Amino acid sequence: MKYSFKNDYSEMAHPRILDAFSAVQAKQFEGYGLDEHSAEATALIRKKVNALSADVHFIAGGTHANLVVISSILRPHEAVIAAESGHIFVHEAGSIEATGHKICTRVGINGKLSAGDIESVILEHSDEHMVKPRLVYLSLSTECGTVYTKAELSAVSKYCRDNNLYLYIDGARLGNAINSPACDLSYSDVSELADAFFIGGTKNGALFGEAIVICNDAMKKDFRFHLKQRGALLSKGAAIAVQFSAFFKDGLYNELASLANQKARKLADGIMASGFEFLFPVETNMIIPILPTEVAERMHKLYGFYDWKVFCDKTAVRLLTSWATREDKIDKFLADLNSV
Amino acid sequence: MKYSFKNDYSEMAHPRILDAFSAVQAKQFEGYGLDEHSAEATALIRKKVNALSADVHFIAGGTHANLVVISSILRPHEAVIAAESGHIFVHEAGSIEATGHKICTRVGINGKLSAGDIESVILEHSDEHMVKPRLVYLSLSTECGTVYTKAELSAVSKYCRDNNLYLYIDGARLGNAINSPACDLSYSDVSELADAFFIGGTKNGALFGEAIVICNDAMKKDFRFHLKQRGALLSKGAAIAVQFSAFFKDGLYNELASLANQKARKLADGIMASGFEFLFPVETNMIIPILPTEVAERMHKLYGFYDWKVFCDKTAVRLLTSWATREDKIDKFLADLNSV
Amino acid sequence: MKYSFKNDYSEMAHPRILDAFSAVQAKQFEGYGLDEHSAEATALIRKKVNALSADVHFIAGGTHANLVVISSILRPHEAVIAAESGHIFVHEAGSIEATGHKICTRVGINGKLSAGDIESVILEHSDEHMVKPRLVYLSLSTECGTVYTKAELSAVSKYCRDNNLYLYIDGARLGNAINSPACDLSYSDVSELADAFFIGGTKNGALFGEAIVICNDAMKKDFRFHLKQRGALLSKGAAIAVQFSAFFKDGLYNELASLANQKARKLADGIMASGFEFLFPVETNMIIPILPTEVAERMHKLYGFYDWKVFCDKTAVRLLTSWATREDKIDKFLADLNSV
Amino acid sequence: MKYSFKNDYSEMAHPRILDAFSAVQAKQFEGYGLDEHSAEATALIRKKVNALSADVHFIAGGTHANLVVISSILRPHEAVIAAESGHIFVHEAGSIEATGHKICTRVGINGKLSAGDIESVILEHSDEHMVKPRLVYLSLSTECGTVYTKAELSAVSKYCRDNNLYLYIDGARLGNAINSPACDLSYSDVSELADAFFIGGTKNGALFGEAIVICNDAMKKDFRFHLKQRGALLSKGAAIAVQFSAFFKDGLYNELASLANQKARKLADGIMASGFEFLFPVETNMIIPILPTEVAERMHKLYGFYDWKVFCDKTAVRLLTSWATREDKIDKFLADLNSV
């Protein structure tokens, strides 16, 4: 197999995550997330995001988290607002529509939805012949590898609160965003500005699992029913919780996310030094340089990565790094890029 | 925490399962089950169930497996036939109905649905004012801890094939069934008689995960779309696959299931020796003795377990064992039972 | 075609209903129920049911009314409680499940659900592994042709209010119930005791159409969105409204329902006089006598009607009358019954 | 009430439609569309569209027809392709998504979807992370009042058949299209090119009702189950059928559609003569002239009509005519338009 920059989940799990399973081997625990490991991880997350009364639920994957949260709170006629590049709109196989809800989109800039975008959707939905937009979905970091600034997210949040809209954040790569030099948001800011969000584990070194954080009391009621009904309430929920305890008891989560960002930065710097431009600002562990198509094709023979978009004789390619990305492979990639 | 006989997923995972993760730490793998670990586990399972052209998909949990399989194949007006004690009817929070399908039930005997039960459902559904039953769901072993014999399952399967019904088996505890002295079914028999089934990992020592096996070609098409749409296509699907490879490359799966059964047998024998009767035949790792309610209450103070049913001054209680159940705790339980 | 006692919708419409269309031919009206005819019919219905702030919506059919009302108010994990003979459970092709909701049933007596039946459902639903029953559905008159007394309905209503359950009444034959000598309920009682109900037009002489009445403010919000989303917001909603104005401006609704009941009474009296018994009390325009199967078969050759149930050598048959049922056909039916 | 050009369903029904109900008053008929009136109307429609083996089903409204047809044939992961102006995408309150299916859109030209538009959707849906487009929805005439030519519709149909896509046509205004001078399609062409379509009654003088025509055998099976499940199988289906018999036994349907088109033409000619342009070609009974906003506002005080779009100091307004539109009102409208 060629060395892969396809994604940030190409390796099994960080060693300290695997150790976390072994450490609790001897003990029995309660099923379905009612165990002490889940309680411990919940306490650590509440503290980290500075939301002591938030509800925390552990779930196996991100698409699943999105559909459970969104379908749990919307009435049948209510819809979601998202960027056209939003993961739920493009890459979740119609999962939200399968729960009965339409997604209203706006193009957005650099994968981001602005308060103005949201307002324009609201303004065009006037009566009962149309759906009623009720929840704003955004990703942090985005599908373009970019981040919202505190000012941007605050404006979105304010618009939502002023207009009776829920704000839900897909944080599959939340660590990469918070640890981005381009992002002035803290975990506390996220919990203050959003009604609910999830903290991604799978893409930051966990074996599997995400942590849903619900801040808005109105969204908390009966949430475990929804988890169960959608097949998301794992009997060994504790197995996700112990990973999040490992993440948040001593800084591992930020450490791994920073590492991933730094590796992307190094890769991006090298690519820039070779004279190539980027489709979006380089802000996290996902970078999208624009290569001559012939260069992209040559590199495809040597490395695994996805094409993002082809235009004229150029191809924008998507490169992802993780905590596990090997430095020598980055060096080699850059060398190969220049070795025409 | 009191020692628990509540279920067979009270411990994290068997050590050889955890070893399986560490063993593949160094290597990158493809996402979403398109990796070599998934291919290897698939090959092992196909061989084990003697169905070389079966499709195998790995998924995090059993409720999720049930709803994805069932909703993938039914048209909107088609319904499921199940026993009244069926897990999907009682304990999955309306997950099947949430995908749009009604479940038609029959009481069944010892948790089992007979061909006659199924026929009686079919006979009463005559026209388009009613749903159209199309898929039979049964559990092996059942929610009562019992097993189908080969003759029973063959009769059900024959009725289904003669009447254009799919047969789907919830095998959350398939290992316990196959390894039960009361059961003359082999894995091959199951793959021959059913259109699809899943092999449970979570309840037999896995950290998490089940393996869906689809034998009927008509059910195979586009199945990965359904997994994705319901949030079940894990990016690190490989993490489930390596566990199933560990299960099936050298007999671990049967070994753990047998161990669980033996421990239940020992517990049941002791309870019988104390003069108590059972609500259902003792056949697998779930046993349901009938205790005087005052005895049940006394034991509740010492051990964790669920009440199954209360009638007059008796309480039928549900006790489960696993590979990890401690022998000394079984001895102590029996001693405590007799120490009035 | 043999003369039919199959149902109460075998004739097109009462002449005064057809006149109502002609009377408004010259005028333009607003679409989608926002017209003056709808306003007039709404005012008449509000007055009739003594609920001046109730919302009234006109819809083409009863199954549609049931699914729109029920799906509009339930969250995904919430379920319906109904009698096993309930129309939504048996004869609506899984329409409620198709909107995602499970129906929990009790056998009931004479087609009626008691407060005790409802309580027994509530008591067995304890946690998030099960659905959460939230709405009680009952029919007035029932699928067995019977009626609730005021004491019975009050007990059901009280239990619902004490336990945070919505009470919704399928009134496809509400007129037959209210005008039954066995029923001491008034329209006002119904609007006081239920959260929502519908008044059936189709089965009482309308060309088509039912009037949904929503009394509980919590169920009113955004209801027109739900009508639209389910395909129930007719552009010519006015065409239903003018029929309901004709029904309620001068007593036509009660007149036709009484006529139907009287004809059933005459038919039943004749059948009783011939020495036959009935499966359920004779209370409305649906009667279910028990005939020797050979008699039933002979009568089938002469008249249209449905068999309800066959047991031993008897067949319970369902006979329905309407305002349009011909007296001479009743006389002939009774004569034929006796002419063995 | 101001005279209204808002829509083509502002009057109750054509007199010959009302006569059709009276004509069958004396006779009993079978319920749920199994009657002789439905058989007669079916035969007339089959002949008219030259599809003798087509299935015909009568339904109360167009939104309902769309959702029943589309949800009946798609599997959960399959999606619809439509123009951005498509009625199902904009003005049916998320009805298709409520049945679980995503709609993939293209802008289209003059409200029409081209084969190229459809291909571009297909090309961008490559794997199981996305939905699988499977059915093309288009309106004839469109939401812009335009029609497809035979060449255009044939190209769309060919692309669909070559690519395993269903083609479904919303014919709420099919009569206006077929009778448009701009349209060289016959009813036979429509039944040959589409897999299913509906013939609109409500907007062409019926009291209520549409006729669904299913040409593709694969879409026929169990369709009555779907009608029933979605609340669309009316017990008095005969009441719709008699209207369609009136439409098609002697040319009334085409007559009324032509009348509506002619009135729109007259209105459009007058508006053009006053020097105004149109947003889309004038082809049927819906015309969308572009007026100075101040003129539009003045006319709003005198007539009922909708604004379609506001840009700079212009407002495109939507005017609809029907068989019942009064000539004197058209003359007055044109006079008022010029009387600045």
Q: For chain D, give the mean pLDDT.
A: 97
Cα gap A118→A86, rounded to integer Å: 14
- Please tell me if residue B75 touches chain D, with a CB cutoff of 8 Å: yes
pLDDT at residue D339 above 90? no
Name the 3-class secondary structure at D132: strand
Residues of chain D with Cβ-Cβ distance to A100 below 8 Å are: 94, 97-100
Mapping DSSP onto H, E and C, the string for chain B reads CCEECCCCCCCCCCHHHHHHHHHCCCCCCCCCCCCHHHHHHHHHHHHHCCCCCCEEEEECCHHHHHHHHHHHHCCCCEEEEEECCCHHHHCCCCHHHHCCCCEEEECCECCECCHHHHHHHHHHCCCCCCCEEEEEEEECCCCCCCCCCHHHHHHHHHHHHHCCCEEEEECCCHHHHHCCCCCCCCHHHHHHHCCEEEEECHHHCCCCCEEEEECCHHHCCCHHHHHHHCCCCCCCCHHHHHHHHHHHCCCHHHHHHHHHHHHHHHHHHHHHHCCCEECCCCCCCEECEEEEHHHHHHHHHHEECEEEEEECCEEEEEEECCCCCCHHHHHHHHHHHHCC
In which band, very low, low, confident or very high, does the pLDDT at B52 lie, cut at 50, 70 and 90? very high
Residues of chain C with Cβ-Cβ distance to D13 below 8 Å are: 21, 25, 239
What distance in Å separates residue C288's CA from the closest CA in chain B? 19
pLDDT over 70, % of chain D: 100
Which chains touch C (3+ CB pairs under 8 A)? A, B, D
- Who contacts D128 (Cβ-Cβ below 8 Å, separation ≥6)? A93, B222, B224, B225, B227, B228, B233, D77
D25/C12 Cβ within 8 A = yes
Cα gap D200→D193, rounded to integer Å: 18
B97/C102 Cβ within 8 A = yes
Tell me if A110 sits within 8 A of A142, measured CB to CB: yes
Cα gap C51→C213, rounded to integer Å: 9
Tell me if B49 sits within 8 A of B190, measured CB to CB: yes
C101/B100 Cβ within 8 A = no
The predicted structure's pLDDT at residue C326: 97
The predicted structure's pLDDT at residue A340: 63
- Please tell me if residue A189 touches chain B, with a CB cutoff of 8 Å: no
- Token duo for residue C286: 């649906």
Tell me if C65 sits within 8 A of C212, measured CB to CB: yes
Tell me if C5 sits within 8 A of C304, measured CB to CB: yes
Which chains touch B (3+ CB pairs under 8 A)? A, C, D
The predicted structure's pLDDT at residue D25: 87
Best mutation target, C32, C34, C224, C229, to test chain D (most D CBs within 10 A): C229
pLDDT at residue C75 above 70? yes
User: Given A9, A94, A238, which is nearest B31 (Cβ)?
Assistant: A9
What distance in Å separates residue D155's CA from the closest CA in chain C? 31
Residues of chain A with Cβ-Cβ distance to B239 below 8 Å are: 12-13, 207-208
In order of start, what are the domains of chain C with their CATH numbers? 3-9+253-339 (3.90.1150.10), 15-252 (3.40.640.10)
Which chains touch D (3+ CB pairs under 8 A)? A, B, C
B226/D77 Cβ within 8 A = yes
pLDDT over 90, % of chain D: 98
- Please tell me if residue D31 touches chain B, with a CB cutoff of 8 Å: no
The predicted structure's pLDDT at residue B340: 63
What distance in Å separates residue A212's CA from the closest CA in chain B? 15
A31/B10 Cβ within 8 A = yes
pLDDT at residue D326 above 80? yes
The predicted structure's pLDDT at residue D211: 98
Tell me if C72 sits within 8 A of C229, measured CB to CB: no
The predicted structure's pLDDT at residue C26: 79
D76/B72 Cβ within 8 A = yes
Closest B-chain CA to D98:
B100
C229/A77 Cβ within 8 A = yes
Residues of chain D with Cβ-Cβ distance to C234 below 8 Å are: 60-61, 202, 208
- Please tell me if residue B107 touches chain C, with a CB cutoff of 8 Å: no
The predicted structure's pLDDT at residue C339: 87
Closest D-chain CA to A96:
D100
The predicted structure's pLDDT at residue A99: 98
- Token duo for residue D306: 């909708």
Quickly tell me which residue has 């918070």 as its tokens: A178
Residues D3-34 pLDDT 10s: 999 999 999 999 999 999 999 987 999 999 99
Name the 3-class secondary structure at D167: strand
- Token duo for residue B197: 């089934």
- Please tell me if residue A77 touches chain C, with a CB cutoff of 8 Å: yes
What's the pTM value of the predicted model, to 2 decimals?
0.97
What distance in Å separates residue B236's CA from the closest CA in chain D? 15
The predicted structure's pLDDT at residue A25: 87
Report CA dihedral (B211, B217, B218, B220) to the nearest 10 degrees: 40
Best mutation target, A4, A16, A28, A234, to test chain B (most B CBs within 10 A): A28
B128/C92 Cβ within 8 A = no
Tell me if A190 sits within 8 A of A211, measured CB to CB: no
B227/D128 Cβ within 8 A = yes
- Please tell me if residue A76 touches chain C, with a CB cutoff of 8 Å: yes
Residues of chain D with Cβ-Cβ distance to C232 below 8 Å are: 61, 64, 231
Tell me if B330 sits within 8 A of B264, measured CB to CB: no
User: Given B24, B94, B239, which is nearest A208 (Cβ)?
Assistant: B239
The predicted structure's pLDDT at residue A339: 87
- Please tell me if residue C90 touches chain B, with a CB cutoff of 8 Å: yes
Average pLDDT over residues D267-289: 98
Residues B249-269 pLDDT 10s: 999 999 999 999 999 999 999
The predicted structure's pLDDT at residue C340: 63
The predicted structure's pLDDT at residue D340: 63
- Residue A178's closest CA among A195, A197, A163, A162? A197
Q: What is the maximum alpha-carbon separation in chain D?
A: 61
The predicted structure's pLDDT at residue B247: 98
What distance in Å separates residue B333's CA from the closest CA in chain D? 50
pLDDT at residue C318 above 70? yes
pLDDT over 90, % of chain B: 98
- Token duo for residue A267: 């890769």
- Token duo for residue D1: 């009430």
What distance in Å separates residue A67's CA from the closest CA in chain C? 12
Reported ipTM: the value is 0.97
Residues D73-84 pLDDT 10s: 999 999 999 999
Which of the residues in chain A have pLDDT under 50? none
The predicted structure's pLDDT at residue D285: 98
pLDDT over 90, % of chain C: 98
pLDDT at residue D209 above 90? yes
The predicted structure's pLDDT at residue C136: 98
A77/C99 Cβ within 8 A = no
Residues A108-165 pLDDT 10s: 999 999 999 999 999 999 999 999 999 999 999 999 999 999 999 999 999 999 999 9
User: Given B76, B94, B102, which is nearest C77 (Cβ)?
Assistant: B94
Best mutation target, D78, D128, D230, D235, to test chain B (most B CBs within 10 A): D128
pLDDT at residue D110 above 80? yes
C76/B130 Cβ within 8 A = no
What distance in Å separates residue C124's CA from the closest CA in chain B? 10
- Please tell me if residue C234 touches chain D, with a CB cutoff of 8 Å: yes
